Amino acid sequence: MAIRIDGKKISQELKDELKETVAKLKEEGKNGCLAVIQVGDDPASSVYVGNKKKACAYIGIDSRSYELPEETTEAELLELIESLNQDPAVNGILCQLPLPAHISEKKVIQSISPQKDVDGFHPQNVGALVIGQEGFVSCTPAGIIELLHRSGVSIEGKHCVVVGRSNIVGKPMALLMLRENATVTVCHSKTRNLKEICKEADILIVAIGKPQYITADYIKEGAVVIDVGVHRNENNKLCGDVKYDEAEPLASAITPVPGGVGPMTIAMLMKNCVEAMKRYA
Ligand code: NAP
């Protein structure tokens, strides 16, 4: 039976550590402030934004909320971001995605100062990750590394298969595993023999966005299985990209959905905010 990697517990531990660090930084006169921008009122985005603000309050940093109407123009949004870039009281900026279709996500991501880009999406931060320099790393893949470390999973020399190559999850995940000295294979929708490749993985990280796609046939006995996917099944219950009931008896360790990777994403956002506070406050 697999060890269940408890993202809820690990993210709580991390947030408690960050809370202590923030208290110490405040004693040194350093304050944290995250600016959170939301354009439109997509209900899922509102939940994410609310959770991010709650996490800020928990660890003791300020959050400023900018709730802009759906019809906000790209120029207006870029102007707001520029004013936040210039504001010395703000050390983290995030703009909740997705944005309405008339606003270019690429332009918005590039307009956030790399020093305040706590989501780690700016090309300068992505480039820093590629060449092994310091910078902000995308929160979900960074959270997976934290989960593996804190669960005692050794990475060095292991064969890691990452399924998915999105800019937010798959690609930075592969680079982080490489940085941890894993041997990395990246799969995507054009990969041939996906099953065979996945079956060779010591650590299998799945971020394909297809509910319960990965069945027992894809998993080597003893593999560590990390499920990034989040979906609602036919009974309106949360599930991942992996068929948990089939994978669990084969795996040596596995993340559940919910309660695995998900809670780590916000905790790592808070870690990036604290890093911004240390570096730039
Ligand atoms: P995405 O941008 O849709 O990327 C999906 C990737 O999977 C693409 O690279 C795609 O290949 C690949 N893919 C799709 N079907 C495949 C197949 N049949 N075989 C192999 N590869 C396939 O998704 P994402 O943003 O990375 O997110 C992935 C999942 O993670 C989603 O369920 C999302 O909701 C979840 N997620 C969770 C968190 C969290 O905090 N828990 C954070 C982010 C995302 P191509 O490149 O060839 O199209």
Ligand 1, atom nearest to 170 Cα: 26
CA 44 to ligand 1 centroid distance, Å: 18
Task: Report the distance separating Cα 52 and Cα 272, nearest Å.
Answer: 12
Q: Is 52 a catalytic residue?
A: yes
Q: Is 119 a catalytic residue?
A: yes
Work out the end-to-end distance of the chain between its first and last CA atoms, rounded to an integer number of angstroms: 47
Mutate which of 166, 191, 241 for ligand 1? The one with the most ligand atoms within 8 Å of its CB, which is 166
Q: Element (H or E) spanning 121, and its range?
A: none
CA 138 to ligand 1 centroid distance, Å: 15
Closest C-alpha to ligand 1, atom 6: 164
**210 in ligand 1 pocket by Cβ < 6 Å?**
yes
Ligand 1, atom nearest to 143 Cα: 40
Give yes or no for a contact between 140 and 185, defined as CB atoms under 8 angstroms apart. Answer: no
Of 38, 96, 115, 212, which is the active-site residue? 96
pLDDT of residue 281: 67
Which residues face 37 on adjacent strands?
A: 66, 95
Ligand 1, atom nearest to 265 Cα: 40
Count how many residues are written for the chain: 281
- In this structure, what are the phi and psi dihedrals at residue 36, rounded to the nearest 5 degrees? -115, 120
pLDDT of residue 121: 98
> Has this prediction a pTM greater than 0.85?
yes
pLDDT of residue 280: 79
pLDDT of residue 1: 82
Question: In 10 A of CB 211, how many CB atoms?
Answer: 18
What are the pLDDT tens digits along the chain (281 aa)?
899 999 999 999 999 999 999 999 999 999 999 999 999 999 999 999 999 999 999 999 999 999 999 999 999 999 999 999 999 999 999 999 999 999 999 999 999 999 999 999 999 999 999 999 999 999 999 999 999 999 999 999 999 999 999 999 999 999 999 999 999 999 999 999 999 999 999 999 999 999 999 999 999 999 999 999 999 998 999 999 999 999 999 999 999 999 999 999 999 999 999 999 998 76
Task: Report the distance separating Cα 216 and Cα 95, nearest Å.
Answer: 38
**265 in ligand 1 pocket by Cβ < 6 Å?**
yes
Hey, what are 230's tokens?
């989040």
Q: At a CB cut-off of 8 Å and minimum separation 6, what does 9 contact?
A: none
All structural domains of the chain: 29-114 (3.40.50.10860), 139-262 (3.40.50.720)
Give yes or no for a contact between 143 and 268, defined as CB atoms under 8 angstroms apart. Answer: yes
Task: Establish how many alpha carbons lie within 13 A of residue 86's alpha carbon, considering only the half-sphere containing its beta carbon.
Answer: 5
Task: Report the distance separating Cα 15 and Cα 271, nearest Å.
Answer: 8
Hey, what are 223's tokens?
């593999």
